[in-house]
Amino acid sequence: MLACRRFGFPSCILNRGDSLNIAPRVKTWLDRLEHGQIDIFRPEKGLDVDQLLETTAKAIIAARHPVALTGAGISAESGIPPFRGPGGLWTKHGEPPMNGFSKFLADPAAAWAERLSPRGPLKELSERIGAARPNPGHMALAEMEREGRLHCLITQNIDNLHTLAGSRRVIEIHGNARLVRCLTCVRRRPIDEISMAPLPPLCEDCGGLLKIDTVSFGEPIPPDVLTLCESESTRCDCMLVVGTSATVYPAASFPIDVKRRGGILIEVNLHESELTEHCAISLRGAAGLVLPAIAQRLKSARTVRT
Ligand code: NAD
């Protein structure tokens, strides 16, 4: 109960039905649980957060191919607002036009000029990303990877904070704001290394058009990244889903696919999301508090075993 007070989770939601549809190794582990612990899978019983964290850690340890999927919520504590909800960029500035990619293709020089002197939500987002540092949530995921508890991380974020925190296998499904990408050969480079005169910049390898690596509205996900995401989520039997409303596709389809194949979903979010009802474990709380608590549990499990 100490954890409950310390981390202040308002509630924890577990769906009993999920225990019937889980990966074989996790199922074996659940079958081995002592009677008292099984009770925490019943939402109608009072939940002890200490046990819940323990269960989360055990589910991750039992998984063959654990993968994390993160969204804007994990970077909120680094000062980068999400798009939606209270304090969201779109809540404040209104929704941007949804034709970013066709606008870019119609006039790449004008689109680059806008990108280099951004206004409105784009200006706020780029200033916040420029000033942001990884928070304990990013650090905890990097630690889990180092400790061999996470195979890789798929992020919808464009802010580079997972890499700055030390995560190595990071798949950026919506790109990275610090990179440019050639629309022809798909080679990526740091934006700082590219000459912006004249506009638009062109690829020095193939002469193709360079675009900021972040995926614009209406732009297909680059095939190299999409293939990686699909192969990782196909192998995944336990997905840790952090700070995402799970409303943006195709990223939102990965956890659903994991569950459909018999894997389990563990959610860390301040609020309920579209995914909550599909999750075996749903931890309500700030990622910067909950993830270090999970990492700590994983570490103690390792210490006990060795
Ligand atoms: P979203 O804005 O739709 O949802 C954010 C989710 O995070 C919500 O469910 C919210 O309850 C939760 N949340 C907020 N603060 C949290 C915290 N401290 N701890 C845990 N959860 C918290 O974000 P999304 O699902 O990632 O999808 C929207 C799109 O936003 C993505 O495509 C992403 O590329 C883009 N985006 C990225 C950044 C970034 O790179 N940091 C910032 C804004 C938007």
Pairing of strands 152-155, 188-190: unpaired
Record the tokens describing residue 48, joined without a space: 């002890």
Tens digit of each residue's pLDDT (9 = 90 or more) over 29-66 = 444 433 333 233 333 344 567 778 888 999 999 999 99
Would you give the distance in Å from CA 11 to the centre of its chain? 22
Residues 14-32, mean pLDDT to the nearest whole number: 39
- Is the per-residue pLDDT at 97 higher than 80? yes
DSSP 3-state of 31: helix
- Any atom of ligand 1 within 6 Å of the Cβ of 202: no
Distances (CA, A) of 212 to 83, 161, 220, 248: 19, 17, 14, 20
Confidence of residue 292 (pLDDT cuts 50, 70, 90): very high
Ramachandran sector of residue 186 (left: φ over 0; alpha: ψ -120 to 50; beta: rest): left
- Residue 286 Cβ contacting ligand 1 at under 6 Å: yes
Q: What is the pTM of this model?
A: 0.86
User: Domain coordinates of the chain in residue numbers?
Assistant: 2-77+134-174+222-305, 89-132+175-212
Distance (angstroms) between ligand 1 centre and the Cα of 161 equals 13
Answer whether 216 contacts ligand 1 (Cβ < 6 A).
no
Q: Which atom of ligand 1 is nearest to the CA of 129?
A: 41
> Which DSSP string corresponds to 86-126?
TT-HHHHH-PPPS-HHHHHHH-HHHHHHHHHS--HHHHHHH
Say what the pLDDT of residue 84 is: 79
* Angle value at C-alpha 287, between 137 and 61, nearest 5 degrees: 75
Compute, in angstroms, the gap from residue 302 CA to the centroid of ligand 1: 31
Give the pLDDT confidence score for residue 21 in this predicted structure: 34
Q: What is the pLDDT of residue 298?
A: 95
What is the reported pLDDT for 304?
A: 52
Chain centroid, CA 294 distance in Å? 16
Q: Which residue has the higher pLDDT, 291 or 6?
A: 291
pLDDT of residue 174: 98
**What is the SS3 string spanning 201-223?**
CECCCCCCEEEECCCCCCCCCCH
Active site members: 174
Total Cβ atoms within 10 A of residue 229: 22
Q: What is the pLDDT of residue 34?
A: 35
Q: What is the pLDDT of residue 28?
A: 45
Is the shortest distance between the CB of 128 and ligand 1 below 6 Å? Answer: no
Using a 6 Å cutoff on CB, does residue 73 contact ligand 1? yes
How high does pLDDT run on average in the chain? 84
193 C-alpha to ligand 1 centroid (Å): 29
Q: Fold for 2-77+134-174+222-305, please state it.
A: Rossmann fold (3.40.50)
Ligand 1 pocket mutation pick from 11, 77, 83 by most atoms within 8 angstroms of CB: 83
Answer yes or no: is pLDDT of 237 > 90: yes
pLDDT of residue 50: 79
DSSP for 232-260, written as a single string: HHHH-SEEEEES--S-STTTTHHHHHHHH
Q: What is the pLDDT of residue 90?
A: 86
Interval between CA 18 and ligand 1 midpoint (Å): 25
Six-digit token string for 190:
């740091």
Of 135 and 84, more confident: 135
Contact 63, 25 (CB under 8 A): yes
Question: Is the model's pLDDT at 289 over the cut of 80?
Answer: yes
| Bridge partners, 239 (sequence order) | 67, 265
What is the spatial distance between Cα 50 and Cα 47, in angstroms, rounded to a whole number?
9
Ligand 1 atom nearest to CA at 251? 32
At residue 37, the pLDDT reads 32
CATH architecture assigned to 89-132+175-212:
2-Layer Sandwich (3.30)
For the CA atoms of 183, 185, 190, 191, the dihedral, rounded to the nearest 10 degrees, stands at: -30
Percent of the chain at pLDDT exceeding 90:
67
